[in-house]
Amino acid sequence: MSELTLPARVALVGNPNSGKTALFNALTGSRQKVANYPGVTVERKEGPAVTPAGLTVRLIDLPGTYSLRARSLDEVVTRDIVLGRLEGEEVPRLLVCVADSTNLRVALRLALELRRVGRPMILALNMFDIARHRGFDIDLGRLSAELGIPVVSSVAVRRGGTRDLLARIDEAIDEQGVQLASTAAAASWSEPNAAQLRATQREADRILDAAVKAPGRPDGFTRRLDHVLLHPLLGRLILLAILFLMFQAVFTWAQAPMDLIKSGFDGLAAWAAVVLPSGWVLSFVRDGVISGVGSVIVFLPQILTLFFFILLLEDFGYMARAAFLMDRIMGGAGLHGRAFIPLLSSFACAIPGIMATRVISSRRGRLATILVAPLMTCSARIPVYTLVIAAFIPARTVFGWLSLQGLVMFGLYTAGIASALGMSWVFNRFLWRREPGEPFMLELPDYKRPVLRNIALGLVQRGQIFLKRAGTTIFAMMVVIWFLCSVPPAPPDAAEPAINYSLAARIGQAIEPVLRPVGFNWQIDVALVPGMAAREVAVAALGTVYSIAGADENPGELGRVLTAHWSLGTALALLAWYVFAPQCASTLSVVRRETNSWKWTAFLFSYMLALAYLAAFVTYQAAAALGAG
Amino acid sequence: MTVPLGAAPVGMAGRIRAVRVEGNEHGLSADELERRLIELGFVEGARVQILHEGLFGRDPIAVRVNEATVALRRREAASILVEPERG
């Protein structure tokens, strides 16, 4: 098939915060496809757009960049596509350089750099309405004459705001005929040095002085709001309040849909029991597929709630401010200011947290964040914590008003946060001591009214990525865990629950001598195997091992059995274990994917396991020494 | 007379006279940091003003550079020499 028969490829390039993605959303709507570039975890967004002449073009949204000098994985993709160097990626017929009309100096330097590559290009002055409102008087004709390329204005967030741009795309594609795969300029491109960058900036400044007849005013709203939101003290209190609200939302709003999903999967399991003959097929479908995938999908409402806030705050322009406020605190632990949001997300579930580390441009900063994100107390630990706390910690108050149970819960959360910061410090100190971290430099964009459509599109994409993962890698893990828990089947005259005859029980019994010093009996060891599916599954597994039907719906009953079988030392050791243990196959599979490395995944698993063992050992031995063993 | 942007108080406004990166404690080579600063708009002649600063060690700072606002740490901002405006 020749390239002529395919719709022309048009690439959007621009600075971060130029409204490029909003423009892409406006042009393609919900028809966009999100995937990854092969071999790297950089998002590849493509979608069709229809021009006024009825021509369909394939738009691709390239990662935002300040220059073609690629500094992060994202920017490498942008550079290589623009230069036509990326294997398996078609060279764009046309570049659309998207510029923030209120911040043209930086944008025009990029445009000049792009122009040198020698590909057909259009400059789109985006957010033109805001610029006009703030008093900028920009002579499009003059700008176009100076640059030697078409210049159009665009307003991504208004209906009809992309009409001029689409019309120009029509003309540009019409004029050029077949585009060469590689221009001489693109082939001989080399990184500009500081002197060349300065010269390009001077040229951009000269053009702007000629084409911008009146400079605009700074955005008064942003100025006033920043005085409050970036205030050293008040700003932090507001950030804390926003976080508190997010937490509330994640744990309360998401509850109803989570219950609904759970009962949906329970209903599905019951239906499977009716239509399928009992035996291993039913066991596989019900206990492996339905309950395994269900135990992960149940987190979808929490993940969507969390991403709703993240996308909303990002669209508004607050996220960069949060990174500004948190930079010093995170920096002390060797983390990037931008690591703050991924770590926060990990309170719901480490999976979206690890996915959110893509915003960190430095590879090392991103890796450090991925390695400590699973230490944050995710919501799957809560069922385990509440079960053990309710059974073993007396419901009384200390200091007259503090609930002892609440205090223990708070202590477990604090242990998670402290260990995440501590481990990051350790990694930076010992793993990477030869390379100091990248400096924190971040543009703080003007605040903008969030566009619901952009947030909705973002949410749908996040949800799809999560569900796809639950349906592939996570599903495969679940099948393995089911296999361990149900093969070989129990003999017909079995007196004990079926899991006690399975491979999982054998693993549990085999590791029992290793875990005896931390106070675990073999029943706990067996429950740890299915607990790899998701931490909370361990609760149901404990119920199965102690032959209590429906233990996850009736934790009181299980709690009574546990108090009869476990010492206080064992219970506390299990809590300490769960603060650190890498007890989640889904997280490991996501870490593998995002780091693209088995080595780092194995490292994560090993260090967390070592910490868990150490913490449980110290807890149990201390409790035993005090007479609670 | 010029002052390093990294040492200036909130409210200081002026024009950049030089961007000169010295030493190698930034996690980047001096040349790379210089290029990144230029790409963010910190270039000779640009108008800058310090708008905000952090709580601990008055770090990081938020700087208005021509029509943009950029957050960075004082250590990196020390490479930017500014001639303060009078008044």
Domain boundaries, chain B: 3-84
Band (pLDDT 50/70/90 cuts) for residue A176 is low
Model pLDDT, residue B39:
94
Model pLDDT, residue A3:
46
Higher pLDDT, A183 or A387: A387
Answer yes or no: is pLDDT of A373 > 70: yes
Answer yes or no: is pLDDT of A547 > 80: no
| Dihedral angle computed from the Cα positions of residues B48, B54, B60 and B61, in that order, rounded to the nearest 10 degrees | 0
pLDDT tens column, A488-516: 887 888 777 777 888 888 888 899 999 99
Whole-Å CA distances, A285 to A49, A294, A490, A538, B58: 43, 12, 18, 19, 59
CB nearest A236 (choices: B41, B55, B67): B55
Answer yes or no: is pLDDT of A434 > 80: no
Model pLDDT, residue A179:
52
Interchain CB distance below 8 Å, B31 and A193? yes
Q: How far apart are CA A507 and CA A485, in angstroms?
A: 10
- State the smallest CA–CA distance between residue A439 and chain B in angstroms: 6
Interchain CB distance below 8 Å, A328 and B31? no
Answer yes or no: is pLDDT of B64 > 90: yes
pLDDT tens column, A186-222: 778 889 999 999 999 999 999 999 999 888 899 999 9
CB nearest A197 (choices: B35, B57, B71): B35
| Dihedral angle computed from the Cα positions of residues A505, A508, A509 and A514, in that order, rounded to the nearest 10 degrees | 180
Q: How far apart are CA A524 and CA A508, in angstroms?
A: 8
Model pLDDT, residue A436:
62
Higher pLDDT, A15 or A386: A15
Model pLDDT, residue A113:
94
Answer yes or no: is pLDDT of A551 > 60: no
CB nearest B67 (choices: A103, A231, A329): A103
Using the 8-state DSSP alphabet, how is residue A175 labeled? H
Preferred mutation among B43, B48, B79 to probe A, highest tally of A CBs within 10 A: B43
CATH architecture under which domain A9-214 falls: 3-Layer(aba) Sandwich (3.40)
Mean pLDDT on A545-567? 74
Number of alpha carbons in the 13 Å side-chain half-sphere of residue A392: 23
Mean pLDDT on B61-84? 95
Residue of A nearest to B54 (CA): A232
Model pLDDT, residue A473:
67
Q: Which of A82-96, A401-415, A530-544 has the weakest average pLDDT?
A: A530-544
| Interchain contact A327–B (C-beta under 8 A) | yes
Q: Which amino acid appears at position A101 of this protein? A: S
Residue A448 structure tokens: 């903008």
Give the closest residue to A377 by CA, choosing from A532, A256, A536, A593: A536
Could you report the predicted ipTM of this complex, rounded to two decimals?
0.95
B69 Cα distance to chain centroid = 11
Interchain CB distance below 8 Å, A438 and B27? yes
Higher pLDDT, A260 or A160: A260
| Sign of the alpha-carbon torsion through B31, B21, A64, A348 | positive
Angle of helix A363-372 versus helix A598-625 axis, rounded to 10: 40
CB < 8 Å to B29, chain A: none
Model pLDDT, residue A177:
55
Interchain CB distance below 8 Å, B54 and A327? yes
Domain locations in chain A as residue ranges: 9-214
Residue of A nearest to B61 (CA): A324
Q: How far apart are CA A54 and CA A173, in angstroms?
A: 12
CB nearest A439 (choices: B39, B56, B72): B72
Interchain CB distance below 8 Å, B27 and A437? yes
Band (pLDDT 50/70/90 cuts) for residue A548 is low
For the residues of A564-619, what is the DSSP string, one character each?
HH--HHHHHHHHHHHHH----HHHHHHHHHHHT-HHHHHHHHHHHHHHHHHHHHHH
Model pLDDT, residue A409:
86
pLDDT tens column, A35-82: 777 766 678 899 999 999 888 999 999 989 999 988 777 888 899 999
CB < 8 Å to A436, chain B: 25-27
CB < 8 Å to A328, chain B: 54-57, 59-60
**Residues in A 75-134 with any Cβ partner in B closer than 8 A:** 102-106, 109
pLDDT tens column, A254-301: 889 989 998 999 899 899 999 988 878 888 888 778 877 787 788 788
pTM: 0.83
Interchain CB distance below 8 Å, A440 and B36? no
Model pLDDT, residue A182:
55
Higher pLDDT, A624 or A187: A624
Sheet strand arrangement including A56-61: A33-36, A43-50, A56-61, A9-14, A94-100, A121-126, A151-153
Question: Which residues on chain B place their C-beta less than 8 Å from a C-beta of chain A?
Answer: 25-28, 31, 33-41, 43-46, 51-57, 59-60, 62, 64, 66-73, 75-76
CB nearest A436 (choices: B27, B37, B39): B27
Band (pLDDT 50/70/90 cuts) for residue A1 is very low
Band (pLDDT 50/70/90 cuts) for residue A2 is very low
pLDDT tens column, A336-366: 877 887 898 888 788 888 988 877 777 788 8
* Residue that is written with structure tokens 């804390």 in the block: A240
CB < 8 Å to A224, chain B: none
Higher pLDDT, A177 or A413: A413
Q: Which CATH class is domain B3-84?
A: mainly beta
